[in-house]
A = this chain, B = another copy of it.
Amino acid sequence: MNGAVQLPLDVADLTITSSGGALVRRTILPSGVRILSESVPGAQSATVGFWVAVGSRDEQPATYGSTHFLEHLLFKGTPTRTALDIAVSFDEVGGEHNALTAKEHTCYYAKVRDVDLPMAVTVLADMVTSSVLDPEEFESERGVILEELAAADDDPSDVVGERLFEAVFGDHPLGRPIGGSAASIKAVGREAVWAHYRANYRPQDLVVTVAGSVDHDELVSGVEAALTAAGWDLTAEAAPVSRRHPAPPVVGYTGARALVPRPIEQTNLMLGVPGLDAHDDRRSTLVALNSVLGGGMSSRLFQEIREKRGLAYSVYSFASSYSDAGLVGLYAGCSPRRAGEVADLMLAELRRVGTDGITDQELDRARGQLGGASALALEDSDTRMSRLGRSELTLGEYIDLDESLRRLALVTPADVRELAAGLAAGPLSIAAVGDVDDDTFRGLDGEPAAA
């Protein structure tokens, strides 16, 4: 079958023929471990990800930042591998090897030549299941994370993004910085991180995805062998964790301003409004809207703010979606004395789409852009591996490129206008880093323009 395929959590085996001749297979072990592969004709490399369904939003106040801290610690050694052994395993084959902590998941991944895939699966499985969290390594890594947080704090474009999430989501766990704070990292103890590890790295939380040159049956055997060797009981029955997040959904958005005065050259500026969650039927409409508004050099924000007025070098829009909430944002870096004007102009562009809509020509261009860009992106096994993970962990359906484009073809200019009007009517948040104060955005009151 082709197109959109549901991924029910109670079906053990699924096979999907995807666009371009790729073959997607999924196996759910009785214990709840999910293994997905996307075999791409002609590929000579593979990207493998071990996903754990826990992110920063799952943390308790006493352990903010512990999901990210734990991610670091998993590189520091197991009973059979030192930190150096793990590093050498990937370095000596020239593999790319890293991890990321997000708000709803953690992912350990590697890109290697296909002959090295069994090694990558074995080492990643060992890291994920059997980290020892050595107390000395724990203290040393605390220092590394404090340096990572310090580097992020010195980058105004990082800071403005963190502050925007806080402003839009308020006290909800989605609003918190993924890495925690220097204070929370200095305070957290090994026992708390260990408890977090034991509670959340279980068979029913684990999703393994591989894309590229991969044989599904061999992959399943390799994962089973590695997890069994680690002492995991893969026969004890458990249901995979739900795709709807257990934390309460975000309510009561109010819009807030997060201004960070700093003696720097530019003002880094973001406007944000509540967006769409990952299950929303209007996702394709949002993709089109984001493309037209701020998705490329021909987009409205780029043309209006950079090309016509020369006010910014970097200006764009973006959309982030989670299992029960989302955010749409507009970014520009500009001169401090023009920051209020740039914020006005960006907001005016969003509102204008909500009142006047977009042209058929713009919508066609968005469709062409997304079709071409997706085709190019799918040449990389990294992109396919990540899409598989997101499909399984968050969406609950696998959508191939043809189906994405079919859905986009059904979007109308009226849909885009309606969505933009809804977004523009939402509570507006502002984050800014630079020479800013309460007067900088005085004229920007968050009130929707008259329709």
Q: Let me know if A313 and B113 touch, CB within 8 A.
A: no
Q: Let me know if B147 and A311 touch, CB within 8 A.
A: yes
List which A355-411 residues lie within 8 A (CB) of chain B.
Answer: 364-365, 368-376, 379-380
Q: Whose C-beta in chain B lies nearest to the C-beta of A303?
A: B84
Q: Let me know if A93 and B368 touch, CB within 8 A.
A: yes
Q: Separation in Å of the A82 CB from the closest CB of chain B? A: 10
| Residue A254 CB within 8 A of the other chain | no
In the complex, what distance in Å separates the CA atom of A301 from the CA atom of B235? 44
Q: How many copies of the shown chain assemble into the complex?
A: 2
Q: Separation in Å of the A164 CB from the closest CB of chain B? A: 18
Q: Separation in Å of the A101 CB from the closest CB of chain B? A: 14
Known: A147-B334, A154-B266. A91 touches B309 (CB 8 A): no
| Residue A216 CB within 8 A of the other chain | no
Q: Let me know if A94 and B313 touch, CB within 8 A.
A: no
| Residue A8 CB within 8 A of the other chain | no
Q: Whose C-beta in chain B lies nearest to the C-beta of A295?
A: B91
List which A340-358 residues lie within 8 A (CB) of chain B.
Answer: none
Mark A141-171 against chain B: 1 for CB-CB distance below 8 A, else 0: 1111111101101111100000000000000
| Residue A281 CB within 8 A of the other chain | no
Q: Which of B75, B94, B302, B312 is within 8 Å of A375, CB to CB?
A: B94
| Residue A420 CB within 8 A of the other chain | no
Q: Let me know if B365 and A92 touch, CB within 8 A.
A: yes
Mark A272-306 against chain B: 1 for CB-CB distance below 8 A, else 0: 00000000000000000000000111110011001
| Residue A139 CB within 8 A of the other chain | yes
Q: Which residues of B contact A146 (CB under 8 A)?
A: 335
Q: Which residues of B contact A295 (CB under 8 A)?
A: 91
Q: Whose C-beta in chain B lies nearest to the C-beta of A263?
A: B263
Q: Whose C-beta in chain B lies nearest to the C-beta of A333?
A: B151
In the complex, what distance in Å separates the CA atom of A151 from the CA atom of B264? 9
In the complex, what distance in Å separates the CA atom of A104 from the CA atom of B448? 50
Q: Let me know if A145 and B313 touch, CB within 8 A.
A: yes
Mark A305-326 against chain B: 1 for CB-CB distance below 8 A, else 0: 0111111111000000000000
Indicate the member of A145, A150, A312, A369 with the most B CB atoms within 10 Å: A150
Q: Let me know if B302 and A144 touch, CB within 8 A.
A: no
| Residue A417 CB within 8 A of the other chain | no
In the complex, what distance in Å separates the CA atom of A87 from the CA atom of B92? 42
Q: Whose C-beta in chain B lies nearest to the C-beta of A41?
A: B42
Q: Which residues of B contact A296 (CB under 8 A)?
A: 87, 90-91
In the complex, what distance in Å separates the CA atom of A264 from the CA atom of B333? 19
In the complex, what distance in Å separates the CA atom of A86 from the CA atom of B379? 25
| Residue A111 CB within 8 A of the other chain | yes
Q: Which residues of B contact A153 (CB under 8 A)?
A: 264-265
| Residue A116 CB within 8 A of the other chain | yes
Q: Let me know if A309 and B151 touch, CB within 8 A.
A: no
Known: A153-B265, A365-B88, A372-B112. A310 touches B94 (CB 8 A): no
